[in-house]
């Protein structure tokens, strides 16, 4: 999985099975969907934010940079954890809709998640992305439909 390159640094070469296993255990297909029935003082600019991410403890962040290289998209972010007895984390995340549609979804359609809950979330995620592509999120009824779908995710 990990090889030394000519400069003495580690370059990671992941197999498809390794990526699927990692995502089964530590990944998520999700979406923030604004609840139109709930008024909040702080309203996000967007109505819907689909996201794919893998979160690992700081010591394992090189794995996330390897995922970024593997997929050729996304970014790695630091995520502070304020909970007692928890380490700070890093997260590889893809939220660009075209990268989700053209890279992440096709990969996981060919290499399905194996955990039943992760596979179900992936299938719902694909439906949500199709609804976004059709513009359903631009109407109140469409956004409510997507919000209801999101509530069925793990």
Band of pLDDT at residue 44, cut at 50, 70 and 90: low
Q: How many domains does the chain have?
A: 1
Region of residue 125 (left: phi > 0; alpha: psi -120 to 50; beta: else): alpha
First-residue to last-residue Cα distance in the chain? 30
Mean pLDDT of 99-113: 98
**CA distance linking residue 62 with residue 129, whole number of Å:** 29
Mean pLDDT of 30-51: 75
Residue 32: CATH number of its domain = 3.10.28.10
Task: Print the domain residue range for 145.
Answer: 2-150
pTM of the model: 0.85
Backbone angles phi, psi at 56, to 5 degrees: -135, 160
The DSSP symbol for 42 reads S
Burial of 97: CB neighbours in 10 Å, binned 0-12, 13-18, 19+: middle
């Amino acid at each position: 999985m990990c090889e030394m390159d000519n400069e003495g640094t580690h370059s990671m070469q992941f197999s498809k099975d390794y990526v699927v296993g990692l995502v089964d255990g530590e990944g998520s297909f999700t979406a923030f969907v604004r609840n139109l029935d709930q008024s909040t003082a702080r309203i996000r600019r967007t109505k819907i934010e689909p996201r794919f991410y893998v979160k690992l403890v700081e010591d394992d962040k090189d794995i996330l940079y390897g995922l970024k290289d593997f997929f050729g998209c996304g970014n790695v972010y630091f995520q502070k954890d304020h909970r007692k007895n928890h380490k700070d984390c890093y997260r590889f995340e893809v939220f660009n809709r075209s990268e989700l549609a053209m890279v992440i979804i096709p990969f996981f359609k060919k290499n399905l998640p194996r955990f039943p809950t992760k596979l179900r979330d992936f299938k719902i995620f694909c439906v949500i992305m199709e609804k976004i592509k059709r513009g359903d999120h631009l109407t109140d009824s469409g956004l409510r439909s997507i919000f209801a779908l999101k509530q069925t995710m793990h």
